[in-house]
Amino acid sequence: MNGQPFARGTLVAMLFGGLVAFVALLWSLGHAAPDANNGGGHAGGRGLNGFAALAAMLEADGFEVSRSRAHDPADRPGLLILTPSADAKGSDIDDIVVRHRHVGPTLVITPKWFAMPIEGDDRAKRGWTRIVGTAPPEWPGFADDVAVKLAPARGWSAAGSRMGRLPDPRNVLSGSGKPLVSLVRASDGRILAAFVNDSGSYPALEQFAGTAGPIGGNDPDLYPLVFVFEPDLLDNWGMADKATGLLARDLIVATADGRGGPVTFDLSLAGLGASKNLLTLAFEPPFLAATICLILAAAAAIWRALAGFGPRLVPGRAMAHGKSALVANAAALVRRSGRLHLIAPPYGAAARERLVLALGLPRGRAASDADTAIDRSAQARRPGLPSFAALAARLSAARRPDDIVRAARDIQQFEKDLLR
């Protein structure tokens, strides 16, 4: 066994799967948002008062459609479609409109319906609504020079003898104000959709309106602001009529200056804004690059940890067996005591006794006599060997650990050379 409970590939797969799951958890926590199909009057709503059909139609026509939950959508390029709720703050709408008009066209759809989700009906799909009332919006602080009014009307008309019907002719919302140029009118002449006549030049809208000549100014940095007072011209209920659907498409194209391009439906003013947090920012530019670098660094650290070391080391026994334990413990005791020089003379004496016994010399002599006898026998057997007496004297005189080891090694080598 190599000491590893799992194969390396299995371990890598487990770590990688855990890392991916952790990143996915962070992303889901940072991007959690309420369901857009909640019966509201916005691009996510699939009820009568929603605008999901308009968004789907534009996508089918090749427009790049996005639905923004950001609390500040003013910097998004292209056409921005605002669908504020009736209780939205006028100052918030005005701030977005004023800043976006230097980025792209803006279309504001005013609400009029009070709608409730259909409950207790198995035939109703999720998000379907029933109309329970009407009321014009009040947005003090935004377009205060424009007034809105609810009154009956039989249908709508636009330039070029275009006409159509409205789903509920009893409640038709119109607007009035000096800066408005009519795009769509009710049967009684009231304005259902219009653009603001200011210092900008909007040829596509002027052509849609059928005006006799250029109006407005010539400011190239100011994009148009269009009001659609009657939401049934663009909502799901009104889009069920083919003529109204074609009018809605042409109105969007004219607002976008006759070109395609990105179209952003704002959801924040309808109560579906997603607040920014650290997890959200970590997965959005420019912080996304730093997040990717951290993930790659973690992956590199894991790979280096796996590739830089071999199998796990199996620890040895805490206590060795038999003679090994005795020798190891004795050596450790001497080493810790700092008295290594005390074992030098006994080692020399033990070597002398072994040589006397191996050479058959008389035992019990003094150390000097035994050393002389060993040297005579060594010269007779192996001429050229060093003097044992000198080696023993050097070992006894040694005090430093390195000197003791070298002297002991020389005596051991003398024994091997003499007795081989």
pLDDT in tens, 307-316: 665 566 666 6
pLDDT for residue 1:
45
Q: Which residue, among 103, 84, 200, has the nearest Cα to 142 in the 3D structure?
A: 84
Q: Which residue, among 394, 353, 393, 395, has the nearest Cα to 374 in the 3D structure?
A: 353
CB contact at 8 A, 101 and 80: no
Q: Which of the two residues, 4 and 152, has the higher pLDDT score?
A: 152
According to DSSP H, which parts of 258-387 are helical? 278-282, 287-307, 322-337, 344-359, 367-381
pLDDT in tens, 10-46: 777 887 788 788 777 766 665 555 678 888 999 999 9
CB atoms near residue 7 (< 10 Å): 10
Q: Which residue, among 91, 85, 8, has the nearest Cα to 44 in the 3D structure?
A: 85
pLDDT for residue 110:
97
pLDDT for residue 159:
92
Is 174 a residue whose pLDDT tops 60? yes
Q: Which of the two residues, 183 and 365, has the higher pLDDT score?
A: 183
pLDDT in tens, 227-282: 999 999 999 999 999 999 999 999 999 999 877 789 999 999 998 876 556 666 67
Q: b or e along 244-269 (b: 16 or more beta carbons within 10 Å of the residue's beta carbon)?
A: bbebbbebbbbbbbeeeeebbbbbbb
pLDDT for residue 6:
64
Q: 320 falls in which pLDDT band (50, 70, 90)? A: low
Residue 389: partners with Cβ closer than 8 Å, 6 or more residues away? 368, 371, 372, 374, 375
SS3 letters for 322-342?
HHHHHHHHHHHHHHHHCCHHH
pLDDT in tens, 147-159: 999 999 999 999 9
Q: How far is CA 261 from the centre of its chain?
A: 28
Q: What is the CA radius of gyration of the chain?
A: 47
Give the sign of the dihedral formed by CA 95, CA 98, CA 104, CA 105: positive
Over residues 74-78, the mean pLDDT reads: 91
pLDDT for residue 278:
61
Is 225 a residue whose pLDDT tops 70? yes
pLDDT for residue 82:
97
Percent of residues, the chain, with pLDDT higher than 70: 90
According to DSSP H, which parts of 37-174 are helical? 52-60, 90-100
Over residues 383-400, the mean pLDDT reads: 87
Give the sign of the dihedral formed by CA 77, CA 78, CA 83, CA 88: positive
The C-alpha atoms of residue 150 and residue 229 are separated, in whole angstroms, by 10
The C-alpha atoms of residue 399 and residue 344 are separated, in whole angstroms, by 9
The C-alpha atoms of residue 135 and residue 68 are separated, in whole angstroms, by 26
Percent of residues, the chain, with pLDDT higher than 90: 45
Q: Mean pLDDT check: name the lowest of 42-46, 113-117, 265-269, 302-306.
A: 302-306
Over residues 65-82, the mean pLDDT reads: 90
The C-alpha atoms of residue 388 and residue 407 are separated, in whole angstroms, by 11
The C-alpha atoms of residue 257 and residue 226 are separated, in whole angstroms, by 12
Which residues on adjacent β-strands are paired with residue 265?
67, 81
pLDDT for residue 396:
85
Q: State which amino acid sits at residue 49.
A: N
Q: Mean pLDDT check: name the lowest of 51-55, 198-202, 359-363.
A: 359-363
Q: Which residue, among 93, 106, 108, 112, has the nearest Cα to 49 in the 3D structure?
A: 112
pLDDT for residue 375:
86
The chain-wide mean pLDDT, for the chain, equals 86
And the tokens for 301? 């650290």
pLDDT in tens, 337-375: 777 777 788 888 888 898 888 888 888 888 888 888 888
Q: 196: part of which helix (H) or strand (E)?
A: strand 191-196
Dihedral angle computed from the Cα positions of residues 334, 340, 342 and 344, in that order, rounded to the nearest 10 degrees: 120
Residue 322 gets the label, from left (phi > 0), alpha (psi -120 to 50) or beta, of left
Question: What is the model's pTM?
Answer: 0.63
Q: Which of the two residues, 288 and 410, has the higher pLDDT score?
A: 410
pLDDT for residue 287:
79
